[in-house]
Amino acid sequence: MFKKLAYIILTLIPGSVLANQPKEWQLGFQKPASQGMEDIVWFHDYMLLPIITAITVFVLFLLLYTCVRFRASKNKVASTTSHNTLVEVLWTLIPCLILVVMAVPSFKVMYSQDTIPKADVTIKAVGYQWYWGYEYPDENIIFDSYMVDEKDLKENQPRLLTVDNEIYVPVNKVVKVMITANDVLHAWALPSFGVKRDAIPGRINETWFKADRTGTYYGQCSELCGIKHAFMPITVNVVTEEEYNQWLDKAKVEFAKEESSNNIKVAKKIKEIK
């Protein structure tokens, strides 16, 4: 009964509310779709936010208390006290302890982001001014991914986030992303997976995610990279293993590395010249 009701309510809510993309007047994060992002959300909601709120309220209370208690009309002769050992030790020690308490779960999250498990799928993402190039090195697939112009959008395709060639990954599999750039700094970021890494020319950064539900996920370049920085979105389709294999079969033909890879073209040219 409850499940049925929940389903009816869910179908009544417009798609945009449930979609994995930013929405108008959004507060907080996008809905997590990986353990990594769930850890980040937990850390933010149950560690950072309560501590920040408590400190802010406490400082505000101290300020107001001082303003009222020591106002000029009630406190004609000001105190000349300039030191108090106990208070000084406390206001050094307590913040230290708060930082230590925060550091423990923070390091845990950072460590899990940094340790890449054995990858099921490896993707190489290359930032260009202004689009992303993708490569599946194990599958000999290579293609470019450009933003779709507003006038060419189909129904339900979000503005500034839709691309012509999306990446496909299987659900519940470890996806390793190797990130680099070809011209200037870019950053490959996907909020629902809790992933953001700089794309640096001449260097490869690695990150990983394991999407735990299917769907279309949107991200953007997150490092100011020039005039069209805002127009190089990232679209990831998380699909079932079966659908992924179907896509692979299609992509191996459509995006075969031999035809589009510059290196191979150059190698062919050199052979011809010889």
Residues that bind Cu ion (CB under 5 A): 186, 221, 225
CA distances from 21 to 16, 72, 194, 229, 274 (A): 8, 54, 13, 18, 52
Of 141 and 189, the one with the shorter C-beta distance to Cu ion is: 189
CB of 179 to Cu ion, least distance (A): 11
Of 186 and 197, the one with the shorter C-beta distance to Cu ion is: 186
Take residue 109 and report the two structure tokens written for it: 């999250």
Of 119 and 185, the one with the shorter C-beta distance to Cu ion is: 185
Dihedral, CA of residue 122, residue 126, residue 132 and residue 138, to nearest 10: -30
CB of 70 to Cu ion, least distance (A): 53
CB of 236 to Cu ion, least distance (A): 17
Can you tell me the distance from the alpha carbon of 23 to that of 233, in angstroms, rounded to the nearest whole number? 16
C-alpha R_g of the chain: 26
Of 159 and 228, the one with the shorter C-beta distance to Cu ion is: 228
Can you tell me the distance from the alpha carbon of 196 to that of 250, in angstroms, rounded to the nearest whole number? 29
Of 121 and 126, the one with the shorter C-beta distance to Cu ion is: 126
The letter for the amino acid at 59 is V
The letter for the amino acid at 258 is E
The answer to whether residues 158 and 150 touch, using CB atoms and an 8 Å cutoff, is no
Select from 141, 191, 183 the least CA-distant residue to 166. 141
CB of 211 to Cu ion, least distance (A): 23
Can you tell me the distance from the alpha carbon of 63 to that of 234, in angstroms, rounded to the nearest whole number? 46
CB of 232 to Cu ion, least distance (A): 5
Of 125 and 239, the one with the shorter C-beta distance to Cu ion is: 125
CB of 189 to Cu ion, least distance (A): 10
CB of 186 to Cu ion, least distance (A): 3
Q: Is 37 helix (H, G, I), strand (E, B) or coil?
A: helix
Element (H or E) spanning 180, and its range?
Answer: strand 175-181
Of 221 and 251, the one with the shorter C-beta distance to Cu ion is: 221
